[in-house]
Amino acid sequence: MCDSKSDNQPFLTDWSKRFSGDAIAVLKPKNTQEVAALVSLCNQNKISIVPQGGNTGLCGGATPISDYQSVVILTSRMNRIHEVNLENSTITLDSGVLLASAQETAKQSGKLFPLSLASEGSCTIGGNLSTNAGGVQVLRYGNMRDLTLGLEVVTPSGEIFNGLRGLRKDNTGYSLKDLYVGSEGTLGIITAATLKLFPLPRSKATALVALEDINASIQLIELINQHCNADLTAFEIISSKALSLVPIGNEKLAGLVNNKSYWTVLIELSSMEDEEKSYTQLESLLEKAFDVALINDAVLSKSLQQSKELWKVREGIPEAQFSLGTIIKHDISLPISALAEFVSSTEVKLKNFWPHLQTIIFGHIGDGNLHYNIAPLTPEFSTELESRRKDINQLVHDEVYKYSGSFSAEHGIGQLKRDELTQRKSSVELGLMKSIKIALDPNGIMNPGKVL
């Protein structure tokens, strides 16, 4: 247990440094039974609980709020991998296991756990579950809810719900696991999970291509689906502005950045074929795309190292954009058919609102998820941009809902988006959510001030 101010401080501020709070203590249980005992004690004494994993969230969902008498319960000591079941293709593990550790354990067993995030070296399985994390391979494998077969959860009363079943089919009443995934610790504390594993691909082929507009990227993904849908693992769109932020040593990649195209797409195919066949398949696909004028240029990886170089460019964007000054982030999703029109119309409205800004856009276009970020034209405009944050968020989210989208695709609600949730959800949806919260957490101790 940490109970001094200096010991507690790292756990009282979120990753973005936008949210901070206070806690009576930071508690570090080592197993589910200890979590249950702590939760039961807190419930009896009406002490609020803030569950926390790797503290890599972007919405303040794992950060305590000063208005409440709270403790933080860390899952970092709960890092045991219980079982890898090769016949059932499952892994059962504690919620405090790092995502990278889960990936490596699966790999050592000849399997793949496909969730892949920039923060995988520090985020935990519990945090991934609580926000229904997505990442770059959602297109093929789905998000965390799709990867989850069973959960173990400590309820707000301190009882243990043991649902660690590796069943693909189980129609025995309500799907409780689906209720807890994405609930951001407001309904209970996830302590363990049984997750799906997949065959480990024998090969990967990666390409970064330049194209004129988002419409071309949508046509490109349709072309890929026609010829090699089963092998398509990732399809990431990157605006030229976003791409130019990352230092690039590779001469071919540098040439692609200097290309007059406004957009690039990072494509990855993975399969059980050998490297040469995967490379040939992607090369043939790109030739078809050139023939119908969908792409202007391309860099195709010829080795695992070159593939890593291409991904390094994509993964470097979130950090690199801060060199521009204040960043206003938007984690949005839209129907794929509406992406091009949304980007075009929103850019115009933003520039009309305030001309000293620029958009930094990248994301998982294959599932309609964009990281639609706003930066100042130069760092000197950062303070003025910050003063317009609320109006810019309103403008962008109004456009998102105009095209039947969502203002939260994979980062969750937390504190950051809580108030807006009440504006965007219907009274029926909000009523159902509140009824669930009251039924499962009648004393309101679980992660108060988040989501609802």
pLDDT, one tens digit per residue, over 103-147 is 999 999 999 999 998 889 999 999 999 999 998 899 899 999 999
Beta strands of 350-451 (E only): which ranges? 357-364, 369-376
Assigned domain for 30 exists: no
Q: Is the pLDDT of residue 13 over 60?
A: yes
Instruction: Give residue 65's Cα distance to chain centre.
Output: 23
pLDDT of 255: 62
112 and 210 housed in the same domain? no
Q: Is the pLDDT of residue 45 over 90?
A: yes
312 and 331 housed in the same domain? no
Assigned domain for 255 exists: yes
pLDDT tens-place string over residues 422-452: 999 999 999 999 999 999 999 999 999 999 9
Surface-to-core class of residue 198, CB atoms within 10 Å of its CB (0-12 exposed, 13-18 middle, 19+ buried): middle
Overall domain count for the chain: 3
pLDDT of 132: 95
Helix (H, G, I), strand (E, B) or coil at 258: coil
Helix (H, G, I), strand (E, B) or coil at 162: strand
Assigned domain for 280 exists: yes
pLDDT of 254: 59
pLDDT of 262: 83
Cα distance between residue 63 and residue 14, in whole Å: 6
> What is the percent of the chain with per-residue pLDDT over 90, rounded to a whole number?
75
180 and 285 housed in the same domain? no
| Closest to 443 (Cα-Cα) out of 170, 65, 164, 39 | 39
308 and 338 housed in the same domain? no
pLDDT tens-place string over residues 309-368: 888 888 889 889 999 999 999 999 999 999 999 999 999 999 999 999 999 999 988 889
Q: Is the pLDDT of residue 249 over 60?
A: no
Q: Are 50 and 27 in contact (CB under 8 A)?
A: no
Assigned domain for 276 exists: yes
> Strand pairing of 331-333 and 203-211?
unpaired
Among residues 199, 233, 254, which one ends one of the domains? 199
pLDDT tens-place string over residues 142-201: 999 999 999 999 999 999 999 999 999 999 999 999 999 999 999 999 999 999 999 999
pLDDT tens-place string over residues 264-283: 999 999 888 888 888 888 99
Which pTM does this prediction carry? Answer: 0.91
Residue 442 backbone dihedrals phi, psi, to 5 degrees: -60, -25
Cα distance between residue 451 and residue 367, in whole Å: 24
Q: Is the pLDDT of residue 96 over 70?
A: yes
Helix (H, G, I), strand (E, B) or coil at 182: coil
Q: Are 367 and 405 in contact (CB under 8 A)?
A: no
Structure tokens that stand for 280 in this block? 């040939």
Q: Are 413 and 61 in contact (CB under 8 A)?
A: yes
Cα distance between residue 128 and residue 183, in whole Å: 11
Assigned domain for 7 exists: no
Question: What band does 228 get if pLDDT is binned at 50, 70 and 90?
Answer: confident
Question: What band does 4 get if pLDDT is binned at 50, 70 and 90?
Answer: low
Assigned domain for 39 exists: no
Q: Provide the domain limits for residue 384.
A: 325-411
Assigned domain for 317 exists: yes
Among residues 321, 350, 379, which one ends one of the domains? 321
The alpha carbon dihedral of 224, 228, 230, 233 has a sign of negative
42 or 3, greater pLDDT:
42
158 and 99 housed in the same domain? yes
- CA angle, residues 138, 143, 144, in degrees to nearest 5: 145
Cα distance between residue 232 and residue 230, in whole Å: 6
Among residues 295, 321, 347, which one ends one of the domains? 321
Surface-to-core class of residue 412, CB atoms within 10 Å of its CB (0-12 exposed, 13-18 middle, 19+ buried): buried
**CATH number where 358 lies:** 3.30.70.2740
Cα distance between residue 430 and residue 268, in whole Å: 39
Q: Are 48 and 448 in contact (CB under 8 A)?
A: yes
pLDDT of 239: 93
299 and 213 housed in the same domain? yes
177 and 242 housed in the same domain? no
**CATH number where 244 lies:** 3.30.70.2190
